[in-house]
Structure 1
Amino acid sequence: MILAGTPDGVYRAPHESFEEAERVLDGVSVRALHARDGAVFAATDSGLRRTTDGGDTWTDLDLPVGDVHSVGSSDRAVYAGVEPGGPYRSPDGGESWNPVEGFAAFAAGAEWPTSPHRDHAWVRSVGDRRFTVTLL
C-alpha cells in the first residue's frame, strides 16, 4: 500500500500503480506525511491528522496552531512544525503537544539566508513548495 499527500488530500494505492488510487483524506492540503510505529501523520493546512488503519479513518490531533508545515519523529517523540510558532513536541504519539523551547527567538519567514560561506544553506519557499539548497 502507498499513501501520497497532495494539495487535494491523501490518496491510497494498493501497489505501485496509482491507477486504482482512492482519496482517503479530503478537504485539506497535505504538506507532509510521516510514518511511525504503525501510524501515519499528515501535516495539513488545517492541522495534523493521524491514521492507524492505513487511511480508513483519520483523527484530528489537538495542536494549538492549525497550519502545520512538517512532521517528523525521533525515538521518543513526534514533532510538528507549525506557522506561526515553530516546532511542537508530542511524547505520546500525538495525544498531547508542547512547544519546543528556544525557537521563539527565531523570526518566522519565507526565507532564511545565510552568509555566503562554504557549508551554509539558503532556504526559500515558493508558493506552497519548500526548497533547501546546500552549498558545498
Structure 2
Amino acid sequence: MSEVKAGLYYTEDHEWIEKLENGNLRLGITDFAQHQLGDIVFVELPEEGAAVEAEASIGSIESVKTVSDLFCPVGGKIVAVNGALEGEPELVNSAPYGGGWMIEIQPDDAAEGLLAGLLTPEKYERHQED
C-alpha cells in the first residue's frame, strides 16, 4: 500500500494539501499517484503570482507512461513554485511529500470551506482501495 501522511488533506484525484504555519497551502501529488504514473520526466507548473480558481488545472505531470493534469482544489494566488522540479522531476517519485512538492498558494476566502470537504488520511486510504 502507498504511503499516506497524517496531517494532510487529500483529493479524490490524488493530490495532497498541507496547511503551512503562515496560512499558505502547499500542494503535491500522493505516493499512490506517483506510483500509478511511473517515472516522472517533466512537470509543468504555473508562474508565481498567477491567480488560480478552485478545481482548475494548474499544470501537468508527464511520465514515461502518460501525461496527467494537476488540479488545485482551492483558489488563490501562487506564491511559490518548486523550481527544483525543472531539473529533477524525478523528485516527485522519490519524495512526493517532501522535495517533490509542486506549488504553494495563498488561499482565497473560500478555501477553508473547500478544505473541509477534502479527504482525511483515513478516508484517503480507503479511497485508494476502491
Q: TM-score under structure 1 normalisation?
A: 0.24
Of structures 1 and 2, the one with the larger relative CO (CA 8 A, separation 6+) is 2
Larger proportion of helix = 2
When Rg is computed on C-alpha atoms for both structures, the one with the higher figure is: 1
Q: Give the TM-score, by structure 2 length.
A: 0.25
Higher relative strand content: 1
